Amino acid sequence: MERYAAAMSRPALPWTFDDRFVRELPADPETSNHPRTVLESAFTRVQPTPVADPTLVVGSVGAAAQLGLPPEVFDAPDFVATVGGNAVQPGMDPYSACYGGHQFGHWAGQLGDGRAITLGEVVAPDDQRIEIQLKGAGRTPYSRGADGRAVLRSSIREFLCSEAMHHLGVPTTRALSLVRTGDQVLRDMFYDGRAAMEPGAIVCRTSPSFLRFGTYQIFAARRDAKTLQKVVDHTLRWHFPEIDREAPDALVQWLCEVARRTAHLVVHWQRVGFVHGVLNTDNLSILGLTIDYGPYGWMDGFDPDFTPNTTDAQRRRYRYAHQPGIGAWNLARLAESISLLMEDPEPLQQVLDTYAATFGPAFLQMMLDKLGLKAGEREADAAFIDELMGLFRGTETDMTLFYRGLADLDVAEGEAADDRRLQQVSTSFYAVEAPQPLHRPSWARWLAQYAARVRSEASDPQRRREAMNGVNPKFVLRNYLAQVAIDKAEEGDDSEVEKLLQIVSDPYSDQPQTDDAYSAKRPEWARHKAGCSMLSCSS
């Protein structure tokens, strides 16, 4: 606590707090920090546990600017001490939130922020409130016996992916900073009995709110309608002001908006080939943001059954192709929870109907945008896209490279053009000899149909290329690239983390100054390497 006292005596950092969450919602009356069941409370006040030697690894200038902080803030000792868990600034009222959730389809009861501590809500220059949260800052009452810490490898992945997703245009929480703690943390990476000490780290992440489906589920499961109503009222007042809270159907309106945001979020994931890995109900944001970057993964070779999570390796519940369905399943669980506040739950069917009505057209339009095509007859468009997905499955195809290269595809007529098109797309295949003779006619036919459609639409080639390159990134945070950065950082070299941050901060540009390796296919050595293909929930 001496470190806190020293920090409080120094000048405050340039931010203003307005902690509506702790001001308006019921607090846990008990302040002791030990694992326990927390009832009738939205949060528990808790202080970060100081670490040995907080040292900045990397900071996001963009995320800082969103908070009104200058780039120089990353050089300030008080800032590093604060985001490293060793200082609490004036105005901060740290807490961990209470929530529950379904994990892999089964109700898990109370979960809560087991290793996350929110420092407060900063008032940004545009008057938006943004929560500042430390992940890996020590035990909380929700830690369930764990240490509340995070390791460097998972923290690098979360920091980089948060910022990568933001710049890809995917709704997400952001990452402000990544700090080494100077402490070692014991982890069993693959739960195989081979635990080892690893360097600890803390990510400071930001979001308008970290409210999640499980926030509402926990109170409904306990039949605590009073607390649930308070949390819902707070949510509508501050995060969905467009909804008239006095309207008879306010709850249905709200959940329908959550359904729309969730549908668009999943469409974005599918667009860039991102697989969350752990789509439990406690990992879906009520605001439609990507939260809780654990064992996520980016598809290299297109595989609808791809999941990066070793825990899910058998059932593949959260595989790429299943993410849309999981969005609906989780919304159904949220709607069931809110039904506790309704006399007649029948109108809640509108929530799932809204999700379906939003996702289908949005997904189809997204795919047409990636292909650079205008909307045609819906069933024909869907069939054309389904045929492409079948070709992807038959020939291991790097979807990022395929779509990016499609903007430059030769669309001329003639057999010579057919051969050129096959040669162009083959650069996105992982097998050198692909497509196999079995698939060559199918690929040639689809590409010819695609070229004919582009010609028939008579789009301006330059505008079409710019539009396609605006939705098809050249750079994504490939799993093996992140692992290379982790390996170097664990040896004390943070340069690759910084370089990747720069690259993923401009994913749609060609970046001629960047080595081609950062936009190339995954190398064969990374196909089955730990951290490059499958990861666990261990952090």
CA-CA distance, 356 to 53, in Å (whole number)?
A: 50
Instruction: Report the residue count for the chain.
Output: 539
Query: What's the CA gap between 390 and 408, in Å, rounded?
Result: 22
Please tell me whether residue 432 adopts helix, strand or coil conformation: coil
Residue 9: exposure state from Cβ atoms within 10 A (0-12, 13-18, ≥19)? exposed
Task: Kindly give the residue spans of alpha helices, DSSP state H, lying in 51-140.
Answer: 61-66, 77-83
For 440, residues 6+ apart whose C-beta sits below 8 A from its C-beta are: 422
Choose among 332, 291, 283, 337: nearest CA to 311.
283
User: Which amino acid type is present at position 113?
Assistant: D
Query: Do 80 and 56 form a contact (C-beta atoms < 8 A)?
Result: yes
Report residue 70 as tokens: 């200058």
d(CA 525, CA 230): 53
Question: Which of helix, strand or coil describes residue 218?
Answer: helix
Residue 213 CB burial class (10 angstroms; 0-12, 13-18, ≥19): buried
Residue 17, sorted as left (phi over 0), alpha (psi -120 to 50) or beta, turns out to be beta
User: For residues 237, 239, 244 and 246, what is the CA-based torsion angle, rounded to 10 degrees?
Assistant: -40
Dihedral sign for Cα atoms in the order 142, 148, 151, 155: positive
Which of these is catalytic: 113, 224, 282, 303? 282
The pair of structure tokens assigned to 112 is 């809560």
282 is catalytic: yes
Distance (Å, rounded) from C-alpha 68 to C-alpha 444? 53
Type and span of the H or E element at 121: strand 116-123
Angle between helices 225-239 and 250-272 (to 10 degrees): 70
SS3 72: helix
Return the active site residues: 282
